[in-house]
Amino acid sequence: MPVNRRFTILLIFLICVACSFWMISRYPALDMKAALSGTEAFEDPLTNEAHFHAPRNADFSTRVMITTLNWYQTNWRGMAFGLVIAAGFFTLLKYTPRQPSDKRFRNSFMGMFVGTPLGVCVNCVAPIAKGMYEAGSKMETALAVMFSSPTLNIIVLTMLFSIFPFYMALAKLLATFVLILLIVPLISDKKRRAIENSACEIDTSFDITSESWSQAAKATALEYLKGLQYIFIRTVPLMLLAGVFGAVASHLMSFDKLIGAPINLINLSLMSFMGTLMPLPIAFDLMLAQALMMSGLAPGFVTTLLFTFGTFSIYSAMIVARTFSISLAIKLFLIVFAIGVGLGYITNGFVEYRHVQWLQQYDRIVDDLPGKKKPSHSNLATNYSLSPRTRQASPIILKQENILIQALSHEPRNP
């Protein structure tokens, strides 16, 4: 069987780049974020690492500029890795036999397994999804990679279940699986749209299986640089623009303004819209949601942000609009937005139900305390008048020196 030396060289290069990024930068940074979660005060609304600081009396434009620069500084490593891997996939898939499958659910499942270990945020994975699709992958595979990379990483999942209540973490995880494995295959096109660009063309006039290793290395480098240039031109300007949009949105609306606000459609819609729009770095979405939860934000709002943060963003929408279509970008934005609103209502209903159950259990425990008189069933069956309340000595739970703790039952609640 002839060996495709270009494929081998490029595959080794991508493995080395990925391992270096994961071991030197990504996973140590995620470990540090997990350790600092709940203990660090954020100086910037879009990142936990404020390299530039705005004066206290700075005007709106200055604060937006400083936040934008901090976002660029925080995301440049992940974005550089995303561009390198995107160009690698873009070139690598040209050397593999294309056997597109129409089994969209299976394609989404495989895309989820490709995206899960990447460990890049929703912004940095967008160029990777673009490179995969334009090199020949199916739409559902590319979208599954884009959604799974920032949400299903092992360290992100560990942080999710360790710092949030179990029902919140489970709701986010189940909603993510529904989005990737059910919604993405259903909204993806069965037929690929024809993509016309010179970077995707393969020179068929030369038999690449007969070239030497040096010739293969030189040709692979040229093909890779051509693909990198193609991806860079079509993604980096949008990234710069997304940073500005995210900074403006973060300073126009602060999430802590809804602390103490009631759970209703307007407030949930506002929270879900902003959460879907924000281009947050990986794991910072969990840190910000936890900080808001500790500040007193209602659980329904926290669950909404927990799902919308890091799942989609303004930059992802730009890349999807340019790679696939504007209608698909709007559709995905609205889907993530609607799921966020629904999770907020579900969480709020669950919290209220659990609170009522706790009160009923507390009443039963207090009523069953020893020494408390219970009305006989005969009196209840024949006497329908309200009996006068008698003051009884409350049972003592703890008595130590000058400390006395007694159990007091709740007053009857209004019907």
C-beta of residue 302 within 8 angstroms of C-beta of residue 293: yes
Average pLDDT over residues 273-288: 87
- Helical H runs in 121-165? 125-134, 139-151, 154-163
**Is residue 336 predicted with pLDDT exceeding 90?**
yes
pLDDT at 384: 45
Q: In 3-state terms, what secondary structure has residue 97?
A: coil
How large is the C-alpha radius of gyration of the chain?
28
How many other CB atoms are there within 10 angstroms of residue 360's CB atom? Answer: 10
The pTM for the full model equals: 0.78
Residue 373 scores a pLDDT above 60: no
d(Cα 374, Cα 368) in Å, to the nearest integer? Answer: 9
Q: Do 220 and 10 form a contact (C-beta atoms < 8 A)? A: yes
**What residue ranges do the domains of the chain occupy?**
5-260
How far apart are the C-alpha atoms of 92 and 108, rounded to whole Å?
20
CB 331 within 8 A of CB 187: yes
pLDDT one-digit tens code per residue, 38-97 = 555 567 777 777 778 888 888 888 988 998 998 888 888 888 888 888 888 888 877 776
Q: In degrees rounded to 5, what are phi and psi of residue 99?
A: -125, 75
Top pLDDT among 106 and 37 is at: 106
- How far, in Å, are 167, 191, 269 from residue 337 at the CA level? 20, 27, 8
Mean pLDDT over all residues of the chain?
Answer: 81
Task: Tell me the C-alpha distance between 212 and 149, whole Å.
Answer: 36
- Per-residue model confidence (pLDDT) at position 283: 79
pLDDT (mean) for 277-302: 87
- Residue 405's pLDDT band (boundaries 50, 70, 90)? confident
For tokens 């007193």, the residue is 296
* Bridge partners, 396 (sequence order): 406
Q: DSSP assignment, residue 180?
A: I
List Cα–Cα distances, 155 to 71, 181, 191, 345, in angstroms: 22, 21, 36, 28
Q: Which tokens is 332 given?
A: 């995905």
Instruction: Please answer whether residues 313 and 125 qualify as being in contact, where contact means their C-beta atoms are separated by less than 8 angstroms.
Output: no
Asked whether the predicted pLDDT for residue 2 surpasses 50, the reply is: no
Nearest residue to 284 via CA among 19, 78, 58: 78
